[in-house]
Amino acid sequence: MHDRQGATMTMNTRIISVLLLTSSSLMLGLSNLPAMAQTSPAQSPGMALELADGAPDRHIVVPGDTLWSISSKFLKQPYRWPEIWRLNQEQIGNPQRIYPGQVVILDRKGDHPGDQPQLKIADAVATAATVKAGPQIYSESNKREISSIPQQAIEPFLSEPLVAESGQLDSSPRIVATQEDRVYIGKGDLAYVTGVKDQAKLWQIYRPGKALVDPETRETLGYEAFYLGSASLVREGEPTTFEVIASRREIGRGDHLLPAPRLDVISYVPHAPDKAIRGRVVSVYGGVGQAGRDSIVTLSRGKRDGIEIGHVLSLSRAGAQVSDRHEGKKTIYQLPDERYGLLFVFRVFDRISYALVMNVTRTVEIGDVVAKP
């Protein structure tokens, strides 16, 4: 089943800027890039790109566009975006920028006979002569490059939650006392912590959470630590004094601290894995049993399985085994998996990854199959 739904949602870039394709590199060098069939892991040999029904000849990029939403305007399979741009492996891993106000042009025939369709950024002079757009004002804030996917949906998950190995939190700094010996503390309160060896100023507070279990093997892949808030180191010593600067939940004795991760700029282009991958949905973030579009799910595959940021995976409901008795003979049949949507991987641990539900035609359930699309 091909996904035909586009994703056109707005976002305010606050924590990260997701770097995308640069117009200058596309205008000057796109025609000289190696063909996707030779360089891109997203290419499926023998599978021609399928344009979306009613694909436009051009699209003016506006604030609120994402790489995913634009690709959905042109392609039935948005994750094949690198192919229609003719990107090579290095460019997929290190994309550059595309900005509001630029015009994306669809070349339906490509540069040579037999070529697949290709997207390009229109030359500014040529565009001015051929495109008559209504008056538009782009402020400095709108000059930021567009993101791959709606950032507001994933921002809270870029530094949280934490997937911890067994025992990792046990050896981390721990709250042993609270201001005025309160049972729980919140923003503005003090916490006294032992075992602090790192002099980082900003820390995050966690409580050991549930085990993440592979639905197939029943193996524990890690533990999802429950994020409580953040704290700032105000006085060294044993114990060390911290001030709670943000709290999402009540914080108390026995909770653990870890240095806040550095929020580096993350760059990625949606693309399919270059090898076969098959895993399961382990959990739906928030403790619910089902998920819909824009929900966050945990997957049973991570770095060691070849998962990376930017991977797009298909979602399928696992086929059941059914029995049929005919003329006195019983036969067991394995029904095929039924594909119903796509996921976008945005955070990866060793054995676990987190993904945003993009396009689905039914609810996502724990145990559903994820695979290379």
CA angle 340, 342, 344 (to 5 degrees): 160
- What's the token pair of residue 347? 């955070």
Neighbours of 340 (CB within 10 A): 18
- What is d(CA 2, CA 4) in angstroms, rounded to the nearest whole number? 6
Q: 278-371: which CATH architecture?
A: Beta Barrel (2.40)
Q: What is the mean pLDDT of residues 66-78?
A: 88
What Rg value do the Cα atoms of the chain yield, rounded? 24
Percent of the chain with pLDDT over 70: 72
- What is d(CA 7, CA 147) in angstroms, rounded to the nearest whole number? 12
Cis amide bond preceding 273, omega within 30? no
- What's the token pair of residue 270? 């949606």
What pLDDT is attached to residue 93?
A: 62
Reported pTM = 0.68
- What is d(CA 358, CA 148) in angstroms, rounded to the nearest whole number? 12
Secondary structure of residue 334 in the 3-state scheme: strand
Lowest-confidence region among 133-147, 218-232, 266-280: 133-147
Task: Give backbone dihedrals phi and psi of 84, rounded to 5 degrees, phi first.
Answer: -75, -20
Q: Which residue is it, tokens 């820390």?
A: 203
What pLDDT is attached to residue 194?
A: 96
Alpha carbon of residue 366 to chain centroid = 18
Q: Most confidently modeled of 182-196, 216-230, 264-278, 310-324?
A: 182-196
Lowest-confidence region among 3-7, 204-208, 317-321: 3-7
pLDDT confidence band for 324 (50 / 70 / 90): confident
- What is d(CA 257, CA 191) in angstroms, rounded to the nearest whole number? 11
What pLDDT is attached to residue 287?
A: 67
Q: What is the mean pLDDT of residues 295-309?
A: 92
Domain ranges of the chain: 23-155, 161-259, 278-371
Torsion on CA atoms 352, 358, 361, 365, rounded to nearest 10: 20
Lowest-confidence region among 62-71, 127-136, 172-181, 327-336: 127-136
Of the CA atoms within 13 Å of residue 292, those in its CB half-sphere come to: 0
